[in-house]
């Protein structure tokens, strides 16, 4: 090979540029998010686990069905019994924060893709790129910009988990039947009124499916995120792997599965509740 | 038709509420090119073949009077819905102007257009299009909600509208719990809630089954007599058009072929297309008592039996209607009874009047008149709601009317 394109070098230059010129900004984000996540985690841990489990079961029962609540309770008790409670809470906080951030960024972008064909055409390949890229790759810039810790792990998770939110928000809004838009127009709605009173409510079941996928993807990132210091259940599995500690790895993995099933059922139930209301 | 114009003038002030001038709508990527071809006299098919653009509306002109029910009728693809949507600019006209209350809607900016849509023009849709995530009450209140009307006020107004369409029991229901007919009543209430002057109804009853549709047509007419809006109603159903329209515009291939009252459309079709369109119509359902009645020779109560006899002889009738001083119908007197009364010197007609004759209102359709006349040996009196005698119908006149319309084919 006589000439090879220095693509990787360019990316490195860009990352370095970001680090040099926006270092303060990244430090600011890092500190604040880290504090927030620490606060949330200690909030979950300050409550007696039994009381928290009862509260969670009650909450799940309210949003979902009795059976789901019952099995969730058993699963959470099992996690506590395996002394993985603290790790589980750390992971839960990571997933919650990642999902909220993904929504915060993804919903507006999703709305824009529904409004503008240009934005749609530009965004979709980027989303494909984000989803096909092996998630390990996100760890590199995250570590360089933010170092090791919870926040870079969060950042990598958000990048990995955000695409379905954008996609399904856009899809949901585009799928709203044109009849309803015509009604909104004919009665003199502004664009914001059309969005808030017609498009978003009617797209809600689809958006909820996006949120569900987002949570699942966040959970699937926890082991990878543990490699750059996310801790939690992912850390347990990672340590099990590194030390060939089969029990530890298995128990950690099982706890992740339990969390995943609970979150999946609850968000699905939320989506269906809205669907029942919506149709 | 003299009788018809009398019937309208009672209801309409003579002002034009909506005017549509030179309206053209071309769907396609380069409307300008199609427009210039259109001006050179190219036909719709030629333009489609040459530029792949569709001339949906081709130079349409009409005016709708205040308080009128104006029906735009045509087969699917005739451009009728597009014309309707150009009025509130859900479809942007390619050329031409639309005036509402002498204001050029086509020149309105976004803010003003929204204002017109909010305050002046209500719309009812073919597939109801009620928001599935809102209760019936919230659906009806939608227009007021986006205008920023306070919750209590808009709910009060929405409840009033639901009562008007007879659905006040259902305000907390969701749309999918309602039948089609009920849903469209909600649609009607929603359009009426912000009290617009104009109602645009796009095939509003076409998705309903025939029985419900007829019921809704009647309901619309009775509602119209209460609210007196200017209504533009799009339909592909001729019977519906004839039933509810004060005037009908018949569209074909994006142009209006004829505008006229239902009777004008039936009896004087402008061309072969219209004639073919209306040939299967049952005239007895369209013509009304008003169309076949003739002025009544009457006598007053204060006249004696001899005056009555003389008048009957003059008119060639064997009986005559007697009216009070303010033209209200008092009864009927036959020749024999009048003769008997005059021979026995009974001067007071009110003693010998009969009341067993049929009566009808001017709006009664012919097919309802036929049995009335068949079972009576006396003529039929056409009276208004104050019992004033407007005209009479004798059996012969009815038959003559039927034969005349029948010969139209």
For B127-172, what is the HEC assignment?
Answer: CCCCCCCCCHHHHHCHHHHHCCCCHHHHHHHHHHHHHHCCCHHHCC
Predicted local distance difference test score (pLDDT) of residue A130: 85
Between A182, A189, A197, which is nearest B90 by CB?
A182
As to burial, measured by CB atoms within 10 angstroms (0-12 exposed, 13-18 middle, 19+ buried), residue B111 is exposed
Q: Are A224 and A135 in contact (CB under 8 A)?
A: yes
* Residues facing B72 on adjacent strands: B234, B249
Query: Is the residue at A89 inside a domain?
Result: yes
- Binning pLDDT at 50, 70 and 90, where does residue A275 land? very low
The model's pLDDT over A15-44, given as tens digits with 9 standing for 90+, comes to 888 888 888 888 888 888 888 888 998 988
ipTM confidence: 0.77
- Cβ within 8 Å, pair B133-A277: yes
Query: Is the residue at A10 inside a domain?
Result: no
Among A64-68, A136-140, B241-245, B283-287, which is the least confidently predicted range?
A: B283-287
- Cβ within 8 Å, pair A183-B125: yes
- Cβ within 8 Å, pair B123-A202: no
- Cβ within 8 Å, pair B117-A179: no
Q: Which residues contact A210 (CB under 8 A, 6 or more apart)?
A: A106, A110, A164, A165, A166, A167, A168, A169, A172
B contacts of A196 (beta carbons < 8 Å): none
CATH number at residue A93: 1.10.3720.10
- Cβ within 8 Å, pair A186-B90: yes
Between B127, B133, B176, which is nearest A179 by CB?
B127
- Cβ within 8 Å, pair B117-A183: no
User: d(Cα B231, Cα B261) in Å, to the nearest integer?
Assistant: 15
* Residue B55: closest CA among B311, B254, B306, B351: B254
What stretches of B225-357 adopt beta strand conformation (E)? 230-235, 247-252, 255-260, 298-300, 319-323, 329-334
- Cβ within 8 Å, pair A201-B145: no
* C-alpha dihedral sign at B324, B326, B327, B329: negative
* Closest Cα in chain A to B117: A188
Q: How far is CA A148 from CA A15, A37, A94, A228, B333, in A?
A: 16, 15, 15, 5, 111
pLDDT greater than 60 at residue A277: no
* Closest Cα in chain A to B91: A182
- Report the domain count for chain A: 1
Predicted local distance difference test score (pLDDT) of residue B377: 81
- Cβ within 8 Å, pair B146-A279: no
* Closest Cα in chain B to A194: B146
- Cβ within 8 Å, pair B133-A278: yes
* Closest Cα in chain B to A203: B133
Residues above pLDDT 90, as percent of chain A:
55
Residues above pLDDT 70, as percent of chain A:
97
Distance from the B191 Cα atom to the nearest Cα atom in chain A, whole angstroms: 8
A contacts of B176 (beta carbons < 8 Å): 279
* Closest Cα in chain B to A278: B133
Predicted local distance difference test score (pLDDT) of residue A28: 85
What dotted CATH number matches B63-282? 3.40.50.300
Q: Are B96 and B38 in contact (CB under 8 A)?
A: no
- Cβ within 8 Å, pair B117-A185: yes
- Cβ within 8 Å, pair B121-A197: no
* Residue B21: closest CA among B128, B85, B106, B78: B106
* Closest Cα in chain A to B130: A180
| Average per-residue pLDDT for chain A | 89
Between A183, A188, A278, which is nearest B114 by CB?
A188
Predicted local distance difference test score (pLDDT) of residue A199: 95
Query: Is the residue at A104 inside a domain?
Result: yes
Between B90, B129, B145, which is nearest A180 by CB?
B129
Any idea where the domains of chain B sit in the sequence?
63-282, 290-406
Query: Is the residue at A138 inside a domain?
Result: yes
- pLDDT means over runs of 10, chain B (409 residues): 37 72 92 89 87 91 93 91 95 94 92 94 93 94 94 94 91 92 93 93 90 88 89 92 91 92 85 82 74 80 83 82 84 86 80 84 82 82 85 78 54
pTM assigned to the model:
0.74
What would the 3-class secondary structure string for chain A be? CCCCCCHHHHHHHHHHHHHHHCHHHHHHHHHHHHHHHHHHHHHHHHCCHHHHHHHHHHHHHHHCCHHHHHHHHHHHHHHHHCCCHHHHHHHHHHHHHHHHHHHHHHHHHHHHHHHCHHHHHHHHHHHHHHHHCCCHHHHHHHHHHHCCCHHHHHHHHHHHHCHHHHHHHHHHHHCCCHHHHHHHHHCCCCHHHHHHHHHHHHHHHHHHHHHHHHHHHHHHCHHHHHCCCCCHHHHHHHHHHHCCCHHHHHHHHHHHHHHHHHHHHHHHHHHHHHHHHHC
- Cβ within 8 Å, pair B123-A187: yes
- Cβ within 8 Å, pair B129-A182: yes
Q: Which residues contact B179 (CB under 8 A, 6 or more apart)?
A: B212
Predicted local distance difference test score (pLDDT) of residue B243: 86
For an interface test with B, give the residue of A182, A183, A185, A275 to mutate (most B CBs within 10 A). Answer: A183
B contacts of A202 (beta carbons < 8 Å): 131-133
- Cβ within 8 Å, pair B146-A193: yes
For an interface test with B, give the residue of A188, A198, A277 to mutate (most B CBs within 10 A). Answer: A188
User: d(Cα B383, Cα A268) in Å, to the nearest integer?
Assistant: 68
- Cβ within 8 Å, pair B118-A188: yes
* Radius of gyration, CA atoms only, chain A: 21
Predicted local distance difference test score (pLDDT) of residue B277: 79
Q: Which domain holds residue A209?
A: 18-278
User: d(Cα B323, Cα B306) in Å, to the nearest integer?
Assistant: 16
B contacts of A182 (beta carbons < 8 Å): 90, 125, 129
Predicted local distance difference test score (pLDDT) of residue B201: 95
Between B88, B132, B146, which is nearest A189 by CB?
B146
Q: What is the mean pLDDT of residues A101-130?
A: 93
Query: Is the residue at A221 inside a domain?
Result: yes
The model's pLDDT over B344-388, given as tens digits with 9 standing for 90+, comes to 877 777 778 888 888 888 888 887 888 888 778 888 888 888 888
A contacts of B114 (beta carbons < 8 Å): 188-190
Predicted local distance difference test score (pLDDT) of residue B14: 55
The domain covering B290-406 belongs, at the CATH homologous superfamily level, to: CBS-domain (3.10.580.10)
* Closest Cα in chain A to B127: A179
Mark out chain B residues that contact chain A at CB-CB < 8 A: 88, 90, 113-118, 121, 123, 125, 127, 129, 131-133, 142-143, 145-147, 174, 176, 190, 194, 200
């Amino acid at each position: 090979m006589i000439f090879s394109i220095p693509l990787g070098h360019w990316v490195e230059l860009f990352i370095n540029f970001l680090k040099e010129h926006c270092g303060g900004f990244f430090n600011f984000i890092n500190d604040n998010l880290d504090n927030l996540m620490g606060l949330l985690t200690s909030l979950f841990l300050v409550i007696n686990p039994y009381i928290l489990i009862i509260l969670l079961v009650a909450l799940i029962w309210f949003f979902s069905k009795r059976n789901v609540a019952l099995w969730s309770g058993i699963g959470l008790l099992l996690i506590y019994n395996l002394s993985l409670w603290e790790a589980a809470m750390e992971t839960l906080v990571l997933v919650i924060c990642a999902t909220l951030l993904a929504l915060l960024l993804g919903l507006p972008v999703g709305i824009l893709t529904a409004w503008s064909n240009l934005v749609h055409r530009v965004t979709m390949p980027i989303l494909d790129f984000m989803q096909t890229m092996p998630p390990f790759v996100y760890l590199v810039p995250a570590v360089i910009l933010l170092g090791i810790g919870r926040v870079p792990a969060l950042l990598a998770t958000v990048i990995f988990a955000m695409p379905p939110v954008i996609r399904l928000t856009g899809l949901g809004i585009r799928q709203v039947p044109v009849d309803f838009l015509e009604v909104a127009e004919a009665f003199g709605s502004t664009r914001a009124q059309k969005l808030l009173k017609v498009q978003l409510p009617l797209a809600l079941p689809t958006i909820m499916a996006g949120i569900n996928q987002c949570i699942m993807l966040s959970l699937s990132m926890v082991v990878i995120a543990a490699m750059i210091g996310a801790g939690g259940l992912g850390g347990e599995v990672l340590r099990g792997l590194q030390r060939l500690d089969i029990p530890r790895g298995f128990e950690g993995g099982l706890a992740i599965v339990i969390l995943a099933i609970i979150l999946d059922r609850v968000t699905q139930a939320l989506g269906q509740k809205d669907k029942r209301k919506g149709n | 038709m003299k009788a018809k114009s009398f019937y309208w003038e009672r209801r309409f002030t003579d002002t034009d509420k909506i005017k549509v001038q030179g309206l053209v709508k071309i769907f396609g990527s380069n409307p300008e090119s199609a427009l210039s071809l259109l001006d050179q006299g190219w036909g719709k098919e030629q333009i489609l073949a040459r530029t792949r653009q569709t001339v949906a509306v081709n130079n349409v002109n009409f005016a709708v009077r205040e308080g009128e029910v104006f029906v735009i009728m045509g087969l699917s693809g005739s451009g009728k819905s597009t014309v309707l949507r150009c009025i509130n600019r859900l479809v942007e006209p390619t050329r031409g102007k639309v005036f509402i209350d002498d204001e050029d809607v086509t020149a309105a900016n976004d803010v003003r257009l929204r204002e017109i849509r909010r305050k002046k023009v209500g719309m009812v849709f073919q597939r109801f299009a009620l928001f599935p995530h809102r209760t019936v009450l919230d659906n009806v209140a939608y227009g007021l909600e986006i205008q920023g009307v306070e919750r209590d006020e808009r709910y009060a107004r929405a409840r009033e509208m639901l009562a008007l369409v007879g659905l006040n029991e259902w305000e907390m229901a969701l749309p999918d719990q309602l039948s089609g007919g009920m849903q469209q009543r909600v649609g009607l209430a929603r359009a009426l809630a912000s009290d617009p002057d104009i109602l645009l109804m796009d095939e509003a009853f076409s998705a309903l089954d025939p029985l419900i549709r007829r019921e809704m047509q009647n309901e619309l007419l009775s509602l119209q007599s209460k609210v007196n809006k200017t209504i533009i109603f799009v339909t592909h159903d001729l019977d519906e058009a004839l039933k509810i329209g004060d005037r009908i515009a018949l569209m074909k291939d994006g142009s209006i072929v004829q505008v006229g009252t239902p009777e004008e459309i039936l009896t004087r079709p402008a061309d072969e297309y219209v004639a073919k369109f209306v040939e299967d119509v049952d005239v007895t359902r369209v013509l009304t008592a008003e169309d076949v009645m003739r002025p009544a020779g009457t006598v007053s109560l204060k006249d004696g039996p001899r005056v009555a006899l003389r008048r009957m002889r003059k008119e060639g009738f064997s009986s005559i209607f007697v009216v009070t001083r303010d033209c209200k119908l008092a009864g009927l007197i036959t020749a024999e009874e009048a003769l008997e009364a005059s021979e026995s010197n009974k001067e007071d007609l009110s003693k010998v009047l009969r009341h067993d004759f049929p009566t009808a209102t001017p709006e009664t359709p012919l097919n309802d008149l036929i049995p009335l006349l068949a079972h009576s040996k006396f003529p039929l009196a056409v009276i208004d709601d104050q019992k004033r005698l407007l005209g009479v119908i004798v059996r012969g006149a009815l038959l003559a009317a039927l034969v005349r319309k029948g010969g139209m084919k």
